[in-house]
A and B are shown apart, each in its own frame.
Chain A
C-alpha cells in the first residue's frame, strides 16, 4: 500500500536536502521507505544507518519499529540525523 510521508533531515544535511519537510510517496514498509528516500534525495541512507546515523519515525527509532513490525501510515514523519551528543 502506498502512503505519503514527511521526511526531514536535521543538522548536517538540512540545508542541502531537507530544509523543509519533503513529501514522499512510498510503499508502507520501512525497507521500502528507505529505498524510496534514497532514490528521491540521493542520500545513501542504508549505508549511513549502518555508520552511526539515526532515523526516527514519529519520534521513535526505526530500529525499534522494525523489530515491532511497524508499517507507515499516511502523514507519518521521518527524520534523519547523524549521531549527536548532548548540549
Chain B
C-alpha cells in the first residue's frame, strides 16, 4: 500500500538495453512539489535527460506518468501523460491520453514508468501488479496498431490495456503517435521514440487499489462534480450530443476556423458542413472514457458514397477540421477514413491533416508538380488526402518528406514555402486561426511543446467576450489570460482529469476533490495548486531553454503575422504578437529574452 493516499506509491525504471528494471518509492518531495502526471514527468525529465541528447537515440527517456485522480471515479479522472524529448521539435513533449489505459496502468502499482535505453530487437513491456516482463515482439513488428493490439490480447488476455505503435512509429516517422485503446498519445512524435527503442507496445493489467484520505468527503465532492458536469450546457448538453465537434459552428461563425491551410476564403460544401451534418451522416454510438459522464467520443460509420462502410471512433473536432476545412474538403466519408488510417498507422491526426493542407497549397502554387507526386493534390481532392496519409504511414514517396513535419518539408521544398508552413517550434498548428482570436496566437507562441490548443484556450472567452471585457482582436489582458490558463492546465494535466471537466468545474471544486483524495496540506487551496502549476511551467521552460529555445522561437508562422484573411469577422487582422509577448514575459517574471528571472525561480523553489 502506498504511503500517500491517491497515489500508487512507486516508480518503475526500465532499461531496455540491459533488459533490467528497478522499483523505488515515490519521494515525498516529488508529490508535494509536482502533484503528478505532467508535473512528475517534468521533474524526472529535467533531472535525468542527458543534455542535448538525440531524441531518437537510446539516451532519450520515455515517461508514462499517472496522476492522483486517475482511476478513482473522480469524473473524467482517466488521463495519463507520456513525456519525452520530441523528435519532431527537439524540445519538451508531453502527450495526454484518456480512455481506459491510465486507470489500468495505475492499478499495476506504479505512478511512473521511466523507460531508458534501446532493445536490440523488437520487444514489448508487460506490466501486472508490481510485476514486469520484457517480452519478444518480433512477430508484432510491421503490424498495424489494431491487429497488433488484438494479438497481444489473444496472448495475454482481453483484460489487458495496450499502448502501441504502428508502422509509422516503427519507421520513426516524426509525426507518429502512440495509440492506446482507441485513444492517442498524440503530437510531437512519441511513436518514433518508441520505434527508436524497438519498443512496440506496453500492455498493462492491474489489481492494485488506491487509498482515499477522506472517503466520505471524496464521495460527496464526486457527486457534486458529477452533477455540475451533467447540468452544464456544454458538458451535459452540447458535448454528449455532438462530441468535441459541438464547437464547430461557433468557431466557424467567429471567423476562427482555418480554411485551406489558413488562407481563408471558401470551398465547395463549406456552407453545408457543420456538427449537425456530422451527427446526421456519421455518428452511430457514444463512448465514454473511464469515469466520464460526458461521453464525447462517437463511433462513426460511413453510410453512403465512395467510403461507404468505413468506420472510426471519431471524428474528433480537430480532425473534422484537419482533414476537412484545412484541406478544403467536405467529403465526410474521407474525413472519417483519414482519421481511421491515422489510428491504423499510428500517426498524429492534427499534424497529418495540417501537412496535407500544406502539400495542397504547394501543389496549387506549382511548388510540387503532379509528376513529382504521381497524382493531383489540389484543395478538395479527398483521394489525394487519403493517398498522402497512406504514404506518411508507410514512409514512402511524398510521405517520407511530409511525415517529418511541415517545417522540415518546407526546408526541402523551398520556394518560400516556409512562409505558409503552419507550425510553431516544429509542431503543426491545430484548428484555431489566431487572427480571429489573437490570444490564441500568444498561446501557440508560448506553448511548451509548440503550437497547441491544450496549453491555453483563450479563444472561448475572447470570442464570446462576456460583458465586453475581452476583444478577440486586441492585446489587452491576453498575457494574464494565457499565463493563468497555462498554469491551471498544468494542474489538470497533473491531476489526471480531462481538460473538458474545467468547462463545468471551477478551481475550488477541483481543489476540494484533490484534497479529499490526498489529504495533503500542499493541495488544500487553489492558490497552492496554481503555484505548483506555475512551477511546472517554469521548469519546462528551463528544460526548453537548455535544449536551445530562445525568444526567437516564441513566434508564429509568417502568414499569421503578415497576411490578412480576405473575408469574415477576422478580415484585415494580423496577430500583434510582439506586444503580447513582451507583456507575457513580464507577467511570467521572465526577462526580455524569455528566461525566468532568479527571483521567480527562488519564489518557486527552483533555484
**Chain A residues near B (Cβ < 8 Å):** 10-12, 14, 19, 52-54, 56, 58-61, 63-64, 66-67, 77, 79, 81-87
Contacts and interface: CB of A to CB of B under 8 A. Distances in A.
Contact of A12 (B237, B317, B503): B237
B275 A11 contact: yes
Interface string B248-285: 11100111000000000000000000011000000000
B241 interface: yes
B493 to A, nearest CB: 14
B185 to A, nearest CB: 18
A59 B502 contact: no
A37 B348 CA distance: 43
B313 interface: no
A11 B243 CA distance: 11
Interface of B: 233-235, 237-239, 241-250, 253-255, 275-276, 316-318, 431, 436, 453-454, 457, 459-460, 463-468, 471-472, 499-500, 502-503, 568-570
Given A10-B250, A11-B250, A58-B569, A85 B460 contact: yes
Contacts of B459: 86
Contact of B233 (A14, A56, A60, A82): A82
Given A11-B275, A54-B464, A84-B460, A60 B569 contact: yes
Given A81-B250, A85-B234, A86-B247, A14 B453 contact: no
Nearest to B453: A86
A12 B233 contact: yes
A60 B457 CA distance: 18
Given A59-B568, A59-B569, A67 B464 contact: no
A12 B235 CA distance: 11
11 contacts: A10-B253, A11-B241, A11-B242, A11-B246, A14-B276, A54-B466, A59-B254, A61-B465, A79-B249, A82-B237, A87-B318
Contact of B249 (A10, A52, A58, A63): A10
Contacts of B457: 85-86
A79 to B, nearest CB: 5
A73 to B, nearest CB: 15
Contacts of A85: 234-235, 239, 247, 457, 460, 499-500, 502-503
Given A11-B242, A64-B471, A83 B431 contact: no
Contacts of A81: 249-250
Contacts of B466: 52, 54, 61, 63
A61 B468 CA distance: 8
A12 B276 CA distance: 11
B468 A67 contact: yes
Nearest to A86: B457
B598 to A, nearest CB: 35
B201 to A, nearest CB: 29
Interface of B is mostly: helix
Given A10-B250, A52-B233, A59-B254, A87 B431 contact: yes
Nearest to A11: B238
B464 A87 contact: no
Contacts of A77: 253
B81 to A, nearest CB: 19
Contacts of B235: 85
Contact of A83 (B436, B453, B464, B467): B464
Across the A-B interface, the 5 shortest Cβ-Cβ residue pairs: A87-B317, A59-B569, A85-B503, A82-B233, A87-B244
A63 B470 CA distance: 10
Given A11-B238, A84-B238, A59 B255 contact: yes
Contacts of A52: 233, 466
Contacts of B568: 59
A87 B247 contact: yes
Contacts of B245: 87
Contact of B253 (A19, A67, A79, A82): A79
Contacts of A60: 254, 569
A66 B465 CA distance: 11
Contacts of B241: 11-12
A62 B242 CA distance: 25
A20 to B, nearest CB: 10
A54 B238 CA distance: 14
Contacts of A84: 233-234, 238, 246-247, 250, 460, 503
A86 B350 CA distance: 15
Nearest to A58: B569
A24 B570 CA distance: 26
B392 to A, nearest CB: 23
Contact of A82 (B234, B244, B471): B234
Contacts of A58: 569
Given A84-B460, A85-B234, 17 more contacts: A11-B242, A11-B275, A52-B466, A56-B254, A56-B463, A59-B569, A61-B464, A61-B466, A63-B468, A64-B465, A82-B233, A84-B233, A85-B499, A86-B454, A86-B460, A87-B245, A87-B248
A66 B246 CA distance: 27
A77 B222 CA distance: 41
Contacts of A63: 465-468
Nearest to A67: B468
A12 B238 contact: yes
Contacts of A86: 247, 453-454, 457, 459-460, 499
Contacts of B465: 61, 63-64
Nearest to A15: B276
B463 A61 contact: yes
A77 B568 CA distance: 12
A56 B570 CA distance: 13
Contacts of B570: 59
Contacts of B317: 87
A37 B436 CA distance: 27
A87 B569 contact: no
